[in-house]
Every structure is written in structure tokens, then in C-alpha cells.
Amino acid sequence: MVQRELKHVVVREHVRSLLDGAEPGTPAPSERELVSQFKVARMTVRQALDALVAEGLLERMPGRGTFVARPRRRPAQLTSFTEDMRRRGLTADSRTLLARIEKAGPGVARALEVEPNSPVVHWKRLRRAGGATMCLEDAYLNEALLPGFLASGLPSSLYDALQGRRLRPTWAEDAIQADVASVEEADLLGLEPGQPVLRLARRALCGDRVVQVSRSTYRSDRFTLHVQLGEATA
Ligand code: GLP
């Protein structure tokens, strides 16, 4: 038993070193070649190749053989406003309109998964990119996870600050809606009331903890939402 385990590891590592740095699509040695080269059972060879397929180094093409796999693409990243704007070549900055501790109302409590009336940080910012007003962001954070958040001075990037506390969201639920600006929003965003806006509501979690819920209202004439779907092919 020990013998067979060792053999498949030997075969696996041989194939790995043989294909080290090879272009995607390079054929792996066939099972038959490996069987005769290592004088092992076909099952041992299959076990070695299976492990490399599971690792993502190789991929099987039915009827054609086994090849060096294309690198797996990472799914779309959960990005902050600062990062979204940087990708567009713009520098983000913000003006804080409100930052205080409040008691969670029923809707915010439900979304943050805290008891109603629990302390939450309410932070409202007018967000600009390249000097132009882009969005109005209204966010609530679970204060219990972020003790002293307001006292430590407001950061320019919330996600950077959360990263510093090992609470950067790892996943989120977004809801996107077309709407028109209210009188207050229009005033802050430099629009006329009734002009179109794009609303983006996010519930951001770090693992299984809801860190933040937010509503962002974007000027739809300045902001395009880019979404990556599925896996990109090479
Ligand atoms: C996005 C999210 C917001 C989040 C913000 C953080 O815009 N929709 O919910 O608050 O990013 O951005 P930053 O780290 O630049 O403050």
C-alpha cells in the first residue's frame, strides 16, 4: 500500500516537473507512456494525473487527452469606491455629511443581523472622482465589530480601514435599481430633481459577519457599472 502511494507521488511529481513552465495546451505524457516508463499499474498513473487535474494544473479534454490547463480566472473582485474609481484612472475623494452612532432601526437591524436599537455607525458621504461629484453614499456599520471606529478618525477608504481590522468584506449582495433623484439627492449631486440616478444597495460580509449595509446613489450620466459574469476564457 505504502509502495503504491509512493509510486503515484513519484509519477505525479515527474509530470509536474516535466510540465513546469509549459504553455497552456501542452499535452501531458499519455497514461500508456507513463505506465511503461515507470513500470506501474495504469491505476497508479491515473491517480497521479487525477491529482494534477484536481489541482488545476492539468485539464482533460474528452477524446483528446490531458493538457496543461489554462490558469483559472479569479471571480470578480469585491471592490471599494476608491478602487472602482482608480480603475477608471480617477482619484476618489469624499466629503462626510454625517458620521455618528445611532440606534439601529428595524430595517438596518435586520440587514446587519443585529438586535433593533443596537449601536450602529451611520456614515454619509458625498463621493467624488477626479473632482466631479459621482455618488451619495449612506452606510451603516455594525458598531460591535468596530469599537472606536469614529474616535480613530474617519478614513478616506472604508474598505482599507476594514482591512486594517481584518474585516474587509469578502463577499456582498448588491441590488441595483434605476430611479430618479429626490430633491435632496439632486441638490447634493448637482442634478435637477427627477433626473435619473442609479441606486446600488449593498450588504457586505466578512465571512459570515455582516459588516456594513449601504445605499449608494450614483449620477447615471457619470457612472457605468461593469459586471463580470462567468469565467473568462483565454
Ligand atoms: C463601494 C460600496 C460601498 C462601500 C464603498 C467603500 O462603493 N458600494 O458600500 O462603502 O465601496 O469604498 P471606500 O473604501 O472607497 O470608502
Q: What is the DSSP string of 113-167?
A: TS-TT-EEEEEEEEEEETTEEEEEEEEEEEGGGSTTTTTT---S-HHHHHHHTT-
pTM > 0.75:
no
Tell how far CA 152 is from the center of its chain.
27
- Give the pLDDT band of residue 76 (cuts 50, 70, 90): low
Enter the DSSP assignment of 205: E
Distance CA(65)–CA(205), nearest Å, equals 42
Measure 157 CA to ligand 1 centroid, in angstroms: 7
Measure 47 CA to ligand 1 centroid, in angstroms: 46
Poorest-confidence range of 98-107, 156-165, 219-228? 219-228
Half-sphere exposure of 127 (CA within 13 A, CB side): 28
- Give the pLDDT band of residue 2 (cuts 50, 70, 90): very low
Q: Does domain 4-68 have CATH number 3.40.50.300?
A: no
Phi and psi angles of residue 115, each rounded to the nearest 5 degrees, phi first: -70, 145
State the span(s) of the chain assigned CATH 3.40.1410.10. Answer: 81-219
What would the mean pLDDT of 122-148 be, rounded to a whole number? Answer: 97
The length of the chain in residues reads 234
Please determine, for residue 228, whether its predicted confidence score (pLDDT) is greater than 80: no
CATH of domain 81-219: 3.40.1410.10
Q: What percent of the chain has pLDDT over 70?
A: 94
Q: Give the per-residue pLDDT at 110.
A: 96
The Cα diameter of the chain in Å comes to: 79
Whether residue 163 has its Cβ less than 6 Å from ligand 1: no
Three-class SS state of 83: helix
What average pLDDT does the structure give for the chain? 91
Residue nearest atom 4 in ligand 1 by C-alpha distance: 80
Distance CA(161)–CA(137), nearest Å, equals 17
Residue nearest atom 13 in ligand 1 by C-alpha distance: 157
Whether residue 80 has its Cβ less than 6 Å from ligand 1: yes
Q: Give the per-residue pLDDT at 1.
A: 45
Q: Give the per-residue pLDDT at 229.
A: 75
State the span(s) of the chain assigned CATH 1.10.10.10. Answer: 4-68
Please determine, for residue 113, whether its predicted confidence score (pLDDT) is greater than 60: yes
